[in-house]
Amino acid sequence: MVQIEISKDFGYVISTGFASVILVTYLGFKVGQARRLSGYPYPYVYATKEECDKDQKKLLFNCYQRVHQNTLEFYPAFLFTLVAGGIKHPILSSVAGGIWILGRIFFASGYYTGEPKKRTRGFFGYIGSLILLGTTISSAISLLSS
């Protein structure tokens, strides 16, 4: 049996995870605001292309919705790699998590313009994801070899 010792620096990992919760909650609120402004009713998730062509507010709603949905698609992997990588590399994992969060903010700000191509402003966040993959692999190897 392997005992895992968690350093006090793991508190940074927990703080980064909490910051990501704030981010995801904020993005969800932004979708709600965009829904109200566009008048797009529940339970519909996205406006059709025809609706967006006629109404810029519906296009913006779709952009806000897509930011939130895209973030949620990556979120489980982000949290897993943040925690797993943080077991051995808490500070590096926390910094990488911060890069991912900052990337999501820039991704959102680009998408919120209504021009989806501007979402690429936040692609640097994937650097954080790649670092987290590396720290997770390192943690796994360390545990398996002890």
Any domain includes 48: yes
Number of domains in the chain: 1
The answer to whether residue 1 is domain-embedded is no
With respect to residue 26, please indicate whether it lies within any of the assigned structural domains: yes
Query: Tokens in use for 60?
Result: 């913006």
For residue 3, is it within any domain?
no
Whether residue 1 is predicted with pLDDT greater than 90 in this model: the reply is no
23 pLDDT higher than 80? yes
Q: Dihedral of CA 143/19/79/99: which sign?
A: negative
Give the CATH number of the domain where residue 107 resides.
1.20.120.550
Q: Would you say residue 5 lies in a domain?
A: no
Burial (0-12, 13-18, 19+ Cβ within 10 Å), 140: middle
Cis peptide before 43 (omega within 30 of 0): yes
**Closest by CA position to 11, among listed 82, 65, 77, 90:** 90
Any domain includes 4: no
Residue 68: inside a domain, yes or no?
Answer: yes
Tell me: the pLDDT tens digits for 57-109? 999 999 999 999 999 999 999 999 999 999 999 999 999 999 999 999 999 99
pTM of the predicted protein model: 0.94
**Contact call for residues 86 and 132 (beta carbons, < 8 A):** no
- Give the domain range for residue 140: 10-144
Residue 2 lies in a domain: no
pLDDT at 5: 83
